[in-house]
């Protein structure tokens, strides 16, 4: 964006804005313009995403694998750490 050739016009517009609103009101005007630009960008991004989503080809759904059963719990060890009574040898 080349504004070098339009610098005198930009300065004139800024001076007119300063005369109309005064130096005390300029921060409020700048904040309002910033909010407006932010809302415009957000709305345009949402619209662009909606259009992309609507025009994107549908992908085939991947088959989901059947759930597997968890492995069985191992036999609990005896509290004494020695062979259990159900252990024959």
Q: Where are the domains of the chain?
A: 23-54
Taking 70 as the pLDDT cut, the residues of the chain under it are 1-4, 60-63, 65-67, 69-71, 73, 75-89
pLDDT of residue 47: 95
CA atoms within 13 A on the CB side of 82: 4
Integer CA distances (angstroms), 12 to 6, 18, 35, 56, 89, in order? 10, 10, 24, 47, 102
């Amino acid at each position: 964006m080349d504004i070098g050739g339009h610098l005198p016009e930009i300065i004139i517009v800024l001076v007119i804005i300063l005369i109309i609103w005064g130096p005390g009101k300029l921060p409020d005007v700048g904040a309002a313009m910033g909010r407006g630009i932010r809302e415009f960008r957000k709305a345009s991004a949402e619209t662009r995403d909606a259009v992309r989503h609507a025009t994107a080809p549908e992908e085939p759904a991947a088959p989901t694998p059947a759930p597997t059963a968890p492995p069985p719990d191992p036999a609990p060890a005896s509290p004494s750490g020695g062979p259990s009574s159900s252990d024959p040898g």
